[in-house]
Amino acid sequence: MSSRQLSVTAIILRSFLIILFFFDVAHADVSHTHGDPVPDNENTKTPLTPKKEGKSYISGSIVLNEFRSVALPIVSTENPGAVINTKFPLTGQTYALMATYGTYITENFKTELRYTTGIKSDTLDEMLKININYAFNWYIGGTLPVTDSFSAYALVGVSFYDADVTRYEVTRKLPGDIGTSEQNIQPSPTEVEDGLFGTKFSMSWMLGFDYMLDENWFLAFEYGRLLKDTDTNIKVYQAGTQLRYEF
């Protein structure tokens, strides 16, 4: 994994931990200010973790989509039918917003629907701008409490998706019959499809953990594979932070 990939993931994780720290400090200050009593008998004890079964939830997320194993076949503008070079593997990182609606089937089993739309693209080798146009996901999986405040979960499902690509023409010095010369080149219009991917459906998986802010609000961090295109072998991994409301 490149240093760029590590730095972005580290920033998301660090932001998540900072939010948790300040929430705990603020919650402790409020409790101290109001002089909340400490339960001292059995009658005042209440479950710290709310029941999940039968509840629904909605959430909003900001996510990083990391494109891996992207091949970029390059052609001369004068002869777009002949590939003169292929750059592989290339990696791109884009950002998206995601909305989720889910429900708990049992105390430790849930299912959900997600919709993702891209908000920030990336350009590969200054020639191919890529982004997730949209993605629809269905997930099902289990969640397990780790402490009174933290839970871990694992989800598996299917995704329907589409990418947005834009080709650019650039001028590069390339080797010729005699020395090097400047040529106008671009991604192959025949081998790089308009949607980037050769398929529209893929298996997906997601791993995450969440922190209970109060009985209804949760903050989550997750990482997984959004898609693997079996035609081009491009993979898109996803990392994000999620604010969830359960009702």
| CA gap 204, 149 in Å, rounded | 27
Contacts of 84 (CB under 8 A, 6+ apart): 74, 75, 76, 174, 185
In terms of Cβ atoms closer than 10 Å to its own Cβ (0-12, 13-18, 19+), residue 132 is buried
pLDDT digits (tens, 9 = 90+) for 43-59: 444 445 678 999 999 99
Q: Spell out, as residue ranges, where the chain has pLDDT lower than 70.
A: 1-49, 176-177
Check residue 43 and report its DSSP letter. G
pLDDT digits (tens, 9 = 90+) for 26-39: 444 444 445 555 44
Do residues 244 and 217 lie in contact, with contact meaning Cβ atoms separated by under 8 Å?
yes
Q: Please indicate, yes or no, whether the overall pTM of this predicted structure exceeds 0.85.
A: no
Q: What pLDDT was estimated at residue 17?
A: 53
| Strand spans (E) along 146-216 | 150-167, 170-175, 180-187, 201-212
Q: What tokens were used for 164?
A: 């947005």
Q: What pLDDT was estimated at residue 153?
A: 98
Q: What pLDDT was estimated at residue 37?
A: 52
Using CA atoms, how far residue 119 sits from 63, 94, 102, 189, in Å, is 10, 8, 23, 25
Backbone angles phi, psi at 193, to 5 degrees: -70, 160
| CA gap 238, 219 in Å, rounded | 17
